[in-house]
Amino acid sequence: MDRDARNGNKVLRELHAENYRAIFLSADISLEEQVRDAVETIEKEFGALHILVNNTAAFVFGSYDVEWSDWNRILSVNILGTSLCSKFAIPVMVRSGGGAIVNVSSIGGLIAQERSLPYNTTKAALLGFTRCLAMDLASQKIRVNAVAPGCIDTPQLRVDLESAGMTFEQGLIVEGPLHMLNRYGTADEVANAILFLASDEASFITGTCLMVDGGYTAK
């Protein structure tokens, strides 16, 4: 489920080519009706729901001077969107016998970063959301965890570097050493952490956050 129908359908075609059963739903998770309809479609199509990954991504940077409209945009996606997806998915997960929720936070949810007040605030809120929801759902056999990526080589990172007037190589020189492993992470490395937390191999893990940050926050 995503707003980006072009890339969403591209991934769908790739999955179908590998003989996976999958559907793509275009939805804005800040809109309650669209989230509700999407989850209803999922239950009708598959008959059950066991895993929810809340990977929301609205990016607003700045400090106390950020406009209210920008605050409203990032809160409506990163926080309220996550809560809406959870609100409608959880009853289906309960009917399905349990499962796992993984919320994608960030190292920004645990540390201070310059001119990152709105974004880091939402990612910190997701950690509190994760812990409280884990407590509420433990009796329903639903585990809730989070991952906190460091700097990950994604299209958004490259857009941010370009906006800052930097090439990828220049960004790596500056940001790579902030991580003990002296590089950017990859999307696959974050995906593997999410897969672990969603799997039965993590059956005794709930209410926690897995750092996927190359040692950034351990320094």
Catalytic residue numbers, as ranges: 119
Tokens read off for 192? 């593997």
Residue 79's CB: how many other CB atoms inside 10 A? 19
The burial class, CB within 10 Å (0-12 / 13-18 / 19+), for 146 is: buried
What type of residue is 172? L
7: CB partners within 8 A, 6+ apart: none
Closest CA to 144 of 210, 75, 211: 210
How far apart CA 109 and CA 145 sit, in angstroms, is 14
Q: State how beta strands 142-149 and 209-212 pair.
A: parallel
- Determine if residue 47 is left, alpha or beta; phi over 0 gives left, psi from -120 to 50 gives alpha, anything else beta: left
- Is there a contact between 116 and 73 (Cβ–Cβ < 8 Å)? no
How far apart CA 70 and CA 139 sit, in angstroms, is 37
Cα-based torsion angle of the residue sequence 38, 99, 121, 150 in order, rounded to the nearest 10 degrees: -110
